[in-house]
Structure 1
Amino acid sequence: MIIRERLKKLVLILDEQKLYEDVHMQDGNSAVKNFFRTQHNGTLSCFPYIRNIDLTRLHIIRDLYNRLWELTAHVNRNFGFSLLTNVGNDLLAIISNSYWIFINFNNYSNTMEQLLQSTSNALLSLPHMFNVLSLALLCEETLQKTTEIAYGLHNLETCMPNNHQYNIVIEQFSLQLLHQKITFSAAGFFNINCRLLYSIAGATTTYLIILIQFQMSGDRVPQNCTISTDNV
């Protein structure tokens, strides 16, 4: 959540940077443009003061993003194993509770005890589902902020087509976003995002089918053993 909030502020800063360029560079009646016309013989080819401010702000944004990337690496390095055990425990709990719900409904005899057991298993699964859902959505929302930063950089580049130095810094920042991707992983085994929900749903279905097959085959084995014993 801390990283997400910091990325939100970076996105807002980039949006303000774009609005600043729109106001001062595209408005024909701008006082700033008129000032530089008088200072540079009626031309708008050089904006040293505005350029220095923009470059300074963009360098600060790059440095802040680099620190956030280092913070993400620190989180993955120190809390990756706990995230792995947390998600693994949730997966096992969801699978086991789903299995017992199936067993109760398979042997359902309209008794209050079995109804309470199925209800308790369903309630026990809800906190684990909520834990995985909230974790995946939080990480996915954080990752979307890096995409918004990339979109903001693209808009900034189109606002300043003639400023070579400005575009060089934007290109370097784009490469930084490409190589320093913010991701959250569970000790390197898998990334935590919305795709994790599909993986957990698929794993739950697969293991539940396997357990049901073992249960059905286990119900048939004692009958065969009894028959063979009687024949002997």
Structure 2
Amino acid sequence: MEGNMLTAARPYLQLLALLTLTPPPSFYEGALRGCDWRLWMLGFGCYCFCILLLGIDVTYVNIRILNFQILMLEVEDFTSAQGKVQKLCYPLLLIVIHGNMLIYFRKLGSIYTEIAALERDIDAASQSLGGLGRRLKFRQRLAKLIGLWLLILSVAFPLVSVPSMTEYMDWYYKIFTELLLVMFQMKIVEYGLFVLFVEELLLRLRHTLIQLQQEFTNCEHHALLQALCVALQRNKQLVARVWKLVGELEIYYTLPMMSLFVNNGFAMLHIVNWAYIQTLNPNDCTNCRFTRFGNVLILLLNLLIPCWLSQRCINTYASINRIIHNVRCGAGNSNPEWLSNILREYVLQMEHLKLRFSCRNFFDINLKSFGGMVLTIVSYSIILIQFKLNDLVEAKPKSLTKAQ
């Protein structure tokens, strides 16, 4: 947990650890040793187990109330199975998140170590070129993106989801249910935090490469040219290490992110289905209909933001390749042979090591994949509407007769 980047992100990691989404940062520091470390691990494990028991209890209550509402509204179709699967996602997601933390506990430590090592090596490589001066900017970017993201989820998500909860549920179960729903969405924020780490490292490498490009343009001395070639070679190696770091993040986040993306898509379909069912209910409030739309919107936006951050990171990585093609030594158009060889190796590396944020090739996390997800959700929603339309038309006269 060394380095300015991890220090700036420490408050967010502590909040996520409080929600049992990631191990506490103190577990990866040298302050805890031996028996103290084991006691803290045992305590955190018991805390996670209590959250899991809470999730199971909340799921049981939600399924029981769902069955009561389905019987009351007389909508015995696939709604029952769909609703139960959506509620069962609560404990299943907790098992996936907590199990992933346990299985990849050491891998997360190696990711922290590599982030700190990359920051240190990039800073050291830039010292001869005037340094970076981006530490304060990164802290501000974290506050604007991650801090604001967490704040919106903590405030806006309960505002649109609590009013749509059934009146047959006790108030404290509404709080517990909302806590779990917000927790799951914040796991996506955690992924976005690590994407920002990668983007910051790439921005620093690109900044160093731009400085090298300017030095090459004004270079006329053989000794200086040789030193710049060594710096360029080092920059190439650091970019390869960042690419490898993205691969480690893919391994760590494959199962949680895949589960959360599927959960959000399934939850949106469930909300659409339930909105049509509630049209049969004369006691359904108008405000609830708007809150259901807001709920779908926030679930969708929470999938958009990590895809957007990943796409920004990919674009930053691609911009490095464009800078390499513009490196020229001196005022002439031809480069020395050793510089041309290094540039050729750099270009080949960028062509072979394409940056991708994915879930083990199941799907990519970028704007193109997000467009495909939206299209899939809309297609299933249209199918759902067509399937429910006939039942809705037939059920409305029955409901009006009962109301009279």
TM-score (norm 1): 0.77
Equivalent position of 1:170 in the other structure: 343
Contact 2:246 2:357 in 1 (8 A): yes
- DSSP-derived class of the 1:187 partner: coil
**Does residue 48 of the first structure (1) align with residue 222 of the second (2)?**
yes
Q: Cα–Cα, structure 1 residues 116 and 167, in superposed 2: closer, same or farther, change >3 Å?
A: same
* Residue 297 of structure 2 is aligned to residue 126 of structure 1: yes
State the match for 1:140 in structure 2: 311
The answer for the alignment partner of 2:353 in structure 1 is: 180
2:252 maps to 1:78: yes
CA distance in 2, matches of 1:162, 1:107: 75
Amino acid at match of 2:367: C
Residue 213 of structure 1: CA displacement?
1.8
Change (3 A) 1:219 1:172: same
Residues 157 and 167, structure 1, Cα contact 8 Å, conserved in 2: no
1:216 is the counterpart of 2:389? yes
Shift of the alpha carbon at 1:219? 4.7
Q: Structure 1's 167 and 221: CA in aligned 2 closer, same or farther, altered over 3 A?
A: same
Query: How far apart are the structure 2 equivalents of 1:101 and 1:142?
Result: 37
Alpha-carbon shift at residue 108 of structure 1 (Å): 9.0
Go from structure 1 to structure 2 and tell me whether the alpha carbon gap of 1:158 and 1:96 turns closer, same or farther (over 3 Å shift).
farther
Indicate the percent of aligned positions where both proteins have the same amino acid: 19
Deviation digits for residues 70-99 of structure 1 (CA, Å, limit 9, x no counterpart): 111111112111111111111112222234
Query: Partner residue of 2:325?
Result: 154
Per-residue displacement from partner, 1:30-60 (whole Å, max 9, x unpaired)? xxx5xxxxxxxxxxxxx32122111111111
**How far apart in 1 are the matches of 2:235 and 2:301?**
34
Q: Distance in 1 between matches of 2:264 and 2:385?
A: 20
Kept in 2, the 8 Å contact 1:80–1:188? The answer is no
Rounded Cα–Cα distance in structure 2 between residues aligned with 1:197 and 1:124: 18
Structure 2 unaligned blocks of 5 or more? 1-195, 396-404
Q: Which runs of 5+ in 1 are unaligned?
A: 26-32, 34-46, 223-232
**Aligned equivalent of 1:58, options 215, 218, 232:** 232
CA RMSD after TM alignment: 2.5
Mapped pair 1:200 → 2:373 = yes
In the alignment, the residues of structure 1 paired with residue 328 and residue 308 of structure 2 have an alpha-carbon distance, to the nearest angstrom, of 31
Tell whether 2:181 aligns with 1:8: no
Amino acid at match of 2:363: F
Structure 2 match to 1:41:
none
Separation of aligned partners in 2, 1:87 and 1:18: 41
